Structure 1
């Protein structure tokens, strides 16, 4: 067989390209291996930091010495929360009713369902209010549809709740529509679903030293520069949050107050009386309520008539005792560290997937290279003289 110069030149060119591709893929594998090693080291450091904070003697002593002090209020709050849950369960054909039914009476099933993993809860169960009258007013201000809203961490969680066919109709075999019949409930009508990651978070800061991380709003001012008489505060700051919901629920590290409740209440104000609220109208832009039942949604929209007694409302917190600043700061540090660990765990999973993809590509390219070398060897043996 005669030697073909063009074929030899083509083989050399191909060899150089495959070799270069192998080197690039090898560098990618090395890059992702180093990234993974770095992330694992970071995870180890964070885990050690959490253990160190948990071991602080002040925290342990506080937890032991204040158990009885907090138990009474906690038990009262549990009772009002149970009443709220029972009220939701009565609304059998709602998304909120199905979610609560799952979490309370079908715990093992709920923990395995992808559509409930991203659900934070129902709006009415995600906060509490110290005063029953104020709880009723804030709940009425938001309205039943909002109070029964299903809150998810991400938009992916929203998409898991409901699916549509090619014609744009709801697929009754998927999401909450498909799940409802399995627990004896049928979902009817529309329902509100809220994605925390898609909400615009409050751009400002928090009140200094406040364990509840209330938003640092500027006080309203009348044209003469004075704060209106009877002004008690902003509605968003009158919701109490438990430790799990104070921070770090979203990828960006935001909590419920600066996302969910800020978007629901905005700068709505609370006044002592209707008369004082009406005098403050020049500095009310996003609505207001008064403790004697007055309600303004926005400028020019007034809610009149008698208040409702039987409404779905926030549980009552009965005034939680305030923890010492040092204890609060330690718990907040632990919360942030746990949030960082969750984000880091997601990064590690992504990096592992990228490393596997790079290794698979490298091994495939190496097989191609070995096949090329074998083909080249066979060709050379054929063209060499005997």
Structure 2
């Protein structure tokens, strides 16, 4: 019985051991599974945190980028406004330049020495053997009848009589720059008028009995040497825009700019726009609709710049391409070509305008507007400096934030690799457990 009872009594303990072992295995599996779940849940939480941090950094970068764009737009707008003020200042300098000789106003100076149209005619008549002198002698001797001659119908006049200026220095400078031969040049409307001035015989020699030579002989004069004739229809006209609402139809030429973007000091304007046209000459147009300023005077002066002093003109050399003159006698013919020595007095000059008294009355008003405009420019320059400081500050913060974002990406990438590796190990262990 005892063995039988002992055998019976040992059976429950075996069952208990088996149950305990099984229970321990189940608990271990559950604990391992819970641990894996906690690791996975923790990994997902960390990933979510990384994504939120990434989005926050990106939002900060976008906000700073928007501020940079706003400051850049503000600076661009302020600079545009400043450039407009610069142009207005230059236009007023051109007006005031008519009253300045060197660096001092000539408003109170005696202007009686400026040549009138009558004096210009007398100067031309002194060149009695020139083509212009002969034409003026013809007009003097025959009066209105001279304009009905077939030879003179196409003639518009002589260069020195087709424009006017307001300033003595400009009159002297422009005539010296062009030279007496150009100041005495005859201006024809068409090429037919040029051909009528001079004809040739069968031997190819000039026919002294016809054309302008024949007219010279008829009044007891002789035409010696060469003379210039300008044909308007053969000139290449200015092709740009005109100054808006300007009764003189001045050319809208771009103001010169130094490499730093500033307009050179002492710049007064372009010579072609300083020529004044009277009503008859202003109304004249060629067959193609071009006026005297964009044909004759544009070809004579092109983009010749006018400066207050020689020193200022020389400082502006980087932005002078079509020549320049200064009110104190400096002349630059073209790039690298200078006129040195004493000033040459050319007796044939452009006459003075009749609007001088009206423009003198507006002198003080223009100076007042000049001061106000310069004050506005200074205020804009301060605004630009402030915007630049703000822009640099935002750019600095943007660079710092960008570096933080790059570091964050590097760190989060390393963490993501670790999480992925851990998840792979967990997955591998789960597969082993399932296989067992």
Task: With the length of structure 1 as denominator, give the TM-score of the two structures.
Answer: 0.62
- In structure 2, which of residues 308, 315, 322 is the aligned counterpart of residue 286 of structure 1? 322
The verdict on how the C-alpha distance between 1:312 and 1:78 changes in structure 2, with shifts beyond 3 A counting, is: closer
Which 5+ residue runs of structure 2 have no aligned equivalent?
1-111, 360-436
Alignment of structure 1 residues 307-346 onto 2, 5 Å: 307-309=343-345, 311-317=347-353, 319-320=355-356, 321=358
SS in 2 for 1:188: coil
Alignment of structure 1 residues 1-386 onto 2, 5 Å: 80-309=116-345, 311-317=347-353, 319-320=355-356, 321=358
Aligned-pair distance for 1:182? 1.0
Q: Can you list the C-alpha shifts for 1:95-130, whole angstroms capped at 9, x where unaligned?
A: 000111122321244133111011000000000100
Which 5+ residue runs of structure 1 have no aligned equivalent?
1-75, 323-386
The verdict on how the C-alpha distance between 1:206 and 1:183 changes in structure 2, with shifts beyond 3 A counting, is: same
Q: Can you list the C-alpha shifts for 1:81-100, whole angstroms capped at 9, x where unaligned?
A: 11111000011111000111
The verdict on how the C-alpha distance between 1:79 and 1:235 changes in structure 2, with shifts beyond 3 A counting, is: closer
Aligned-pair distance for 1:247? 3.7
SS in 2 for 1:121: strand
**Runs of at least 4 residues of structure 1 off by over 4 A?**
76-79
Report the equivalent of 2:59: none
Task: With the length of structure 2 as denominator, give the TM-score of the two structures.
Answer: 0.55
Asked whether the 8 Å contact 2:175–2:346 carries over to 1, the reply is: no
The verdict on how the C-alpha distance between 1:139 and 1:79 changes in structure 2, with shifts beyond 3 A counting, is: closer
Aligned-pair distance for 1:78? 11
Alpha-carbon distance in structure 2 between the residues aligned to 1:247 and 1:118: 16
SS in 2 for 1:84: helix
Alpha-carbon distance in structure 1 between the residues aligned to 2:289 and 2:147: 24
Aligned-pair distance for 1:308? 2.7
Asked whether the 8 Å contact 1:131–1:318 carries over to 2, the reply is: no
Alpha-carbon distance in structure 1 between the residues aligned to 2:163 and 2:271: 12
